[in-house]
Amino acid sequence: MKYVLAIDQGTTSTRAILFDTNLTPVFTAQEEFQQIFPHSGWVEHKADDLWQTTLRTCRQVIEQAGGSAADIISIGITNQRETTVVWDAKTGEAIYNAIVWQDRRTSDLCRTLTGAGHAEMFQDRTGLLVDPYFSATKLKWVLDNVEGARARAQRGELLFGTVDSFLIWQLTEGRVHATDATNAARTMLYDIRKGRWSQTICDLLEIPMNMLPTVKDSADDFGSTSLLGADLPIRGVAGDQQAATVGQACFEPGMLKSTYGTGCFALLNTGDVPVASKNRLLTTIAYQLDGKPTYALEGSIFVAGAVVQWLRDGLKIIQSAGETQNLAENADPTQSVVMVPAFTGLGAPYWSPDSRGAIFGLTRNSGPAEFAKAALESVGYQTRDLIDAMRADWQQHATGSGGEAVLRVDGGMSASDWTMQFLADITNAPVDRPRVLETTALGVAWLAGMKMGALPDQAEFAKNWALERRFAPEMQAEERAAKYGRWQQAVQSTLTY
């Protein structure tokens, strides 16, 4: 049997999945790694942890499949986006911990850039808002704060990359320093319309352009690795949310997907038009094939699955994520507890990095069940915020497009029937859950296998997308309006706290 190896390097764990040529996941290995919080709002990973967990999980799935890497057709890499690594161009050793996408240490710098009148330029070129979320200010922080880093970078001794670039460099033993257009589009350094790194932005942030990787298509030649027992080509790369968009076969303009992992990320395909948002969404690249980018509107929620982790690890009121559904089902229906999980600020469409979490509507009888219900509902409310903003932006460009608005969902939380039903209820839209929930890995596996000619083309892949269950809205309009109104009041309170 032949396989495609998908490397899914995420925020809290690394997974390797072997897909057969029917794109069925058959072998999986997963390993968590340390989360580092040096100061309030700072989040880091050891770069070597990202690499070593990748290497180990790949070797584990090959062992599960019988130990022969020669059965692997191609490798695809999908990754946590915006996370920033700077490493020695000769040794591959990181000069500082990877600064994670959630990290907020550059909030002051972002305010300074906005105050100096640069926000419009950044948005026009990159499609992004000036925010600590993206890689550019993280990279500047490393160059400014690690002794000798800027001088070394100017001499060509240091390389920058998002996690995909770092893994490609390690897998190819330093032969390839590359990224794909979807990851480049998340750095706040890449001109998404011209398809190249922005000299203007790099000069403004004092970033030497010789540090930056070569930008390729999402299905392209990223070199090969001989570290897994055979010479294996790397042919697919995409940031995790774009890979999920591909895995959900959202290839037509107007199609929408939402992925529920640590955070929640919704992408709306806008075709070959980069739609400038008037509602504080991001304009980004959904995927790039044959040199042609397909654009998307994106809304990012910083805390989705992480709110359940907080119930488990912070409050210790559950032992596993699966308990939340039963608790929510048994919560007191007369209570209206609202949780705003702004632990690391609020993402789209608010973009308030300094907001912090809050809980409203507590009574003496509020307990674990009400907390669990409020936590799961917060994911639906935040998704509603994103979808409403997307619809407002998209309708201006897609008049008369017609068709029923359907949300395709994936990621760990999408397995919760209760959460997905609430999502359908609060957004007043059908929610479609596919048979294969591992859409992030699926997307990059298809890119890698398709590039090798071993998997179906785009049209056939889309036709094979399979529905597991549709959740239809059941909530009455009055109840929906009342609940969403309380959420909006709660958010406004956190924004003005």
Cβ neighbours for 384, distance < 8 A, ≥ 6 positions apart: 426, 427, 484, 487
Cβ neighbours for 295, distance < 8 A, ≥ 6 positions apart: 192, 269, 270, 271, 272, 273, 274, 275, 283, 284, 285, 286
What are 439's two structure tokens?
């859409």
What are 29's two structure tokens?
């290995």
Q: Is 15 annotated as a binding residue?
A: yes
Average pLDDT for residues 97-122, to the nearest whole number?
A: 94
Q: Is 325 annotated as a binding residue?
A: no
Q: Which amino acid is at 496?
A: T
pLDDT score at 404: 56
pLDDT score at 396: 53
Query: For residues 133 and 347, is the Cβ–Cβ distance under 8 A?
Result: yes
* Residue 408 scores a pLDDT above 90: yes
Q: Is 117 annotated as a binding residue?
A: no
pLDDT band at 346, cuts 50/70/90? confident
Query: For residues 371 and 312, is the Cβ–Cβ distance under 8 A?
Result: no
Which range, 194-203, 260-269, 320-329, has the best average confidence (pLDDT)?
194-203
Q: Is 13 annotated as a binding residue?
A: yes
Q: Summarize pLDDT for 64-95 with one digit per residue, the tens.
A: 998 789 999 999 999 999 999 999 999 999 99
**Bridge partners for 190 per DSSP:** 197
Q: Is 305 annotated as a binding residue?
A: yes
Distances (CA, A) of 460 to 245, 446, 465: 16, 11, 9
pLDDT band at 323, cuts 50/70/90? confident
CA-nearest of 478, 295, 283, 485 to 389 is 283
pLDDT score at 403: 46
Q: Which of 134-138, 333-337, 379-383, 389-393 has the lowest mean pLDDT?
A: 389-393
Distances (CA, A) of 79 to 44, 98, 297, 310: 15, 13, 19, 23
What are 231's two structure tokens?
């010479």
Q: Is 416 annotated as a binding residue?
A: no
Q: Is 458 annotated as a binding residue?
A: no
CA-nearest of 304, 347, 242 to 8 is 242
Q: Is 182 annotated as a binding residue?
A: no
Average pLDDT for residues 410-434, to the nearest whole number?
A: 92
N-term to C-term CA, the chain: 58
Could you please report the per-residue DSSP string of 338-386? EEE--BTBB-TTT-BTT---EEE---TT--HHHHHHHHHHHHHHHHHHH
pLDDT score at 40: 86
Q: Is 82 annotated as a binding residue?
A: yes
Could you please report the per-residue DSSP string of 412-469? GGGG-HHHHHHHHHHHTS-EEEES---HHHHHHHHHHHHHTT-S--HHHHHHT--EEE
Mapped onto helix, strand or coil, the DSSP state of residue 125 is: helix
Q: Is 11 annotated as a binding residue?
A: yes
Query: Which domains occur in the chain, in start order?
Result: 3-241 (3.30.420.40)
* Residue 402 scores a pLDDT above 50: no
* Residue 161 scores a pLDDT above 50: yes
Average pLDDT for residues 157-167, to the nearest whole number?
A: 97
Q: Is 262 annotated as a binding residue?
A: yes
Q: Summarize pLDDT for 242-280 with one digit per residue, the tens.
A: 999 999 999 999 889 998 887 888 999 999 989 988 888
